[in-house]
Chain A
């Protein structure tokens, strides 16, 4: 098994300490930080997404694998700053919308997007439209990913899209939405660019939107 294959397996199995050790080993052996993403982390988390879709992995297993992947990304991210070769596939501002404190779904999407090579600006939960606009501008983001669990808060997604438009940023960013009460038709009705029904779908959607 190659080092990359070992890393992939350790992420899929959710062994964070092993992933950390292998990441450090890879760096000692002179492997470029930017090469570890496409060869180890991204394929491993794609496999985790497949297993989730096929009902082999559920929320606990996905959280465990995502934490293992984070053991690598936490080491690698600081090393990638200023590395032109390591341009991320995109910058995503992630959050749960204003009035809503539920963040497990958002956290899983955020971790999976990070493991797919996106740069993540995670603003947390209960985030105002103004903060989202500011984060998009400051980080030159090209994606906004919003979540809501409640029928009383999903309506706040529309205010974010309007605020992005008012700030002249709507053409710069694609907006994707998700969360239990959110549907494809709701996403269309508020002018979002896409809806992800679960975390693997959100990763596919982000890739498509970033490539568009």
Chain B
């Protein structure tokens, strides 16, 4: 059985030979670069000091190369956009060192400057002539957006200001998707999880637009949340236009990549916090769901792709509506959040959606537990979520920095041992 067949069976709610595994196919199912380095060293894949590429500079995710995929038995590869969160492309690699002292390679556009506190500032498209758009605190592991909020003129709000990043797809990007989809589907036997961008409505990680040099419109995080209520009609109009553009782009992308893609990352908007949803169910139903439904309906009508939604936190209250809006895959399945107990989720939704994630708690067990605690939790999650298919193993969101290598190794050993069907 090939990896692609294994994933396809799981997505069709059938039991393959063993539970499929994702590591690194998306920006929310990967591993922080210091941890990738440690893992590669532990598996003796590299001589000490061999740098690891940073493939996602915002969360500082490390490259999951084919040798690591083979060592762990990874079944999914990612097809991403050519430009990163900071607008530069993943090309022209140069050496860099993280605060942990890990040797890494970063793209040539990864141009930084220290500030007076020793924090690292990052620039959109690597252009130091404009204000920085990202900051990594001194000693930190990740970048966060520097909010650049121009004054808001209530009487002259224009939806165009928040649509600058959503336009007709460039021919070069289309060509990139065509070429990469072909390469991944012919040169690997893995399932392809694609992120074409443009279909996440109001993703708070994207609202500040750290890749834009001079973002306009509503870009402050609190202001955006408030706007979903106080300027609801304005936000609705932004989404309406974004949806039109997004579907038009999907038409072109499908013509280029066809069904070489297994699943498509439709939305990464976080709707959940630790104890409940960020927004009311009514707000989801009125403001977001119509557009999720429109995008997912187009995909289901025209392609064989499965629709993937990522939302951290406690989203139990929204799950029936996610399913109703046409999502096939739920990620990251944050079982540590309120109302997200694995057994209940599988029982209530397991016949309708595939859970992709939830394999181990990345807030507690993986960083702070013992290897034995990791084994027990991973094995229990495989048995619950893997029942009757409908499960792809991944940690709950990216594996973070400072996770002990023995815990990471214990996790993947357990996936191999406990993930065989019959479970």
Contact = CB atoms under 8 A, between A and B. Distances in A.
B363 A181 contact: yes
A11 to B, nearest CB: 15
B135 A152 contact: no
Interface string B224-239: 0110111000000000
Best-surrounded residue of A55, A152, A183 (most CB of chain B within 10 A): A152
Given A59-B225, A63-B226, 12 more contacts: A58-B279, A60-B229, A64-B229, A99-B140, A104-B221, A126-B119, A151-B362, A151-B363, A151-B400, A152-B141, A152-B402, A180-B273
A53 to B, nearest CB: 10
Contacts of B380: none
Contacts of B401: 152
Contacts of B302: none
Contact of B279 (A60, A101, A198): A60
Contact of B276 (A55, A61, A104): A55
Contact of A61 (B141, B221, B229, B273): B229
Given A64-B226, A101-B137, A58 B400 contact: no
14 contacts: A55-B276, A59-B278, A59-B279, A61-B280, A64-B226, A64-B230, A102-B144, A104-B221, A107-B222, A152-B140, A152-B141, A180-B363, A183-B364, A197-B275
A186 B186 CA distance: 49
Interface in B269-311: 273-280, 283
Interface residues of B, number: 35
A150 interface: yes
B337 to A, nearest CB: 9
Given A63-B225, A181-B363, A98 B137 contact: yes
A181 B364 CA distance: 7
Contacts of B317: 55
Nearest to B146: A101
A100 interface: yes
Contacts, number: 73
A150 B279 contact: no
- Which 7 pairs show the lowest CB-CB distances between chains A and B? A181-B363, A101-B144, A60-B229, A60-B225, A126-B137, A151-B367, A180-B274
Interface of A: 14, 55, 58-61, 63-64, 67, 98-102, 104, 107, 126, 150-153, 180-181, 183, 197-198
Contact of B277 (A58, A99, A183, A198): A58
B368 interface: yes
Nearest to A125: B137
A150 B141 CA distance: 10
Contacts of A58: 276-280, 283
B367 A59 contact: no
A176 to B, nearest CB: 16
A99 B119 CA distance: 9
B327 to A, nearest CB: 21
Contacts of B228: 60
A101 B138 CA distance: 11
Given A60-B226, A151-B368, A197-B274, A99 B402 contact: no
Contacts of B280: 55, 58, 61
A99 B225 contact: no
B156 to A, nearest CB: 19
**Most B CB atoms within 10 A — which of A98, A151, A198?**
A151
Contacts of B144: 101-102
By CB atoms of chain B within 10 A, which of A61, A67, A153 has the most?
A61
Contacts of A152: 140-141, 400-402
B168 interface: no
B139 interface: yes
Contacts of B274: 180, 197-198
Interface string B324-339: 0000000000000000
Interface string B213-226: 00000000110011
